[in-house]
Amino acid sequence: MKQRGPLAFGLVGAGDIARKRVAGALRSLGPGANLLGVASRRKGPAEDLAHEHGIPRVYSDWRALLADPEIGAVYVSTPVDLHAEITIAAARAGKHVLCEKPMALTHRECLAMIRACRKAGVRLGIAYYRRFYPVVRRMRELLQAGAIGKPILADVLVGERFNPVGRAAPRRWLIDRRRSGGGPMMDFGCHRLDLLLYLLGDVRAAQGALGNLAFRNRSVEDHATAVLSFASGATGHVTASHCLDASEDRFSILGTTGRLVVSNLGSGRLEVTTPSGATHHDLPPHSNLHFPLVEDFHSAVLDRRDPLVSGEEGARTSLVLDQIYGRAPKARLRRT
């Protein structure tokens, strides 16, 4: 049985990602959905977002949004420390939930979110939108076809210069451990961890080297490298940094008979090397990076199926993050 009528969304949070991508993606879903409300403790940003995107209802508290009986689903776009609390409350209010990444501060919180949504019979999705990149889909097809033989090594580097100055600086919460749970590995490294789980399967063990190389007065690392051991026998290195003088976003998988190399994941240019030679593929992402994710979640609710990036999938990545940050014993590192 499918849902009748348009699915009304509420947006919790009016920050950078909500403003730049999420609101526009929700507004672009067509007649089967509408963006009915936005909630933020900061009145100005919420009202500005509502005005820009024609959102009719503004709430100063996310609890008031969840109490709105006309809203059937929520997108949680808040700092990480609020993800679990809001998701669990939304599930109890009967709302489907699409939550920003990383899913929560810890794997334990992820499990509580999953339980709450299962008990309430609502869908839970996590915003690892890079799974929808055409270049990632093509890499998955090539790996499944054995185009580069047995995968041996994944090598990932992502970084930028990030140093928010002043208490009112945008996104400053990202360097507050209580709110973010960690530095660049939690923020954008988690996206690459999710992709490696999607492409190479379960991680058997993980460990991290975390440091402060440029910004020593932070409560979170500014540079991190994770070493991953996959159940398949492959290994991986993921480095995420706030210290680099120029942005980097390299993603490579090397196999016994070839390699897949993306010099910049956001551009979608893939170099494929096999025993037959080298080829190049230009596979750029959607102009609104969040739209394919939001579209899949909307369809999942209507079709009564799990979204591609379900709560269970998001929890797998958080379990690896727990290992990298030393928050969980190695014995627990398995599929949830």
**Could you tell me if 110 and 85 are in contact, meaning their C-beta atoms sit under 8 angstroms apart?**
no
Q: Which tokens belong to 88?
A: 């669990």
pLDDT tens for 208-231 read: 999 999 999 999 999 999 999 999
pLDDT of residue 3: 52
Start-to-end Cα distance in the chain: 28
pLDDT of residue 165: 86
- Three state DSSP letters for the chain: CCCCCCEEEEEECCCHHHHHHHHHHHHCCCCCEEEEEEECCCHHHHHHHHHHHCCCEEECCHHHHHCCCCCCEEEECCCHHHHHHHHHHHHHCCCEEEECCCCCCCHHHHHHHHHHHHHHCCCEEECCHHHHCHHHHHHHHHHHCCCCCCEEEEEEEEEEECCCCCCCCCCHHHHCHHHHCCCHHHHHHHHHHHHHHHHHCCEEEEEEEEECCCCCCCCCCCEEEEEEEECCCCEEEEEEECEEEEEEEEEEEEECCCEEEECECCCCEEEEEECCEEEEEECCCCCCCCHHHHHHHHHHHHHCCCCCCEHHHHHHHHHHHHHHCCCCCHHHCCCC
pLDDT of residue 28: 97
pLDDT of residue 331: 37
What distance in Å separates the CA atoms of residue 319 and residue 71, rounded to the nearest whole number?
A: 31
pLDDT tens for 163-199 read: 998 877 889 999 999 999 999 999 999 999 999 999 9
Q: Which tokens belong to 252?
A: 């490579």
Angle, helices 107-120 vs 311-324, to 10°: value is: 170
pLDDT tens for 113-145 read: 999 999 999 999 999 999 999 999 999 999 999
State the pTM of this model: 0.95
Identify the structural domains of the chain with CATH numbers, from first to last.
7-129+290-308 (3.40.50.720), 134-284 (3.30.360.10)
Q: Which residues of the chain fall short of a pLDDT of 50?
A: 1-2, 331-336
What distance in Å separates the CA atoms of residue 85 and residue 323, rounded to the nearest whole number?
A: 23
Handedness of CA 291, 296, 297, 298 (dihedral sign): positive
Distances (CA, A) of 319 to 218, 222, 314, 332: 24, 21, 9, 8
pLDDT of residue 335: 38
What distance in Å separates the CA atoms of residue 95 and residue 88, rounded to the nearest whole number?
A: 10
What distance in Å separates the CA atoms of residue 141 and residue 196, rounded to the nearest whole number?
A: 14
Q: Which of 193, 189, 191 is nearest to 210 (CA)?
A: 189
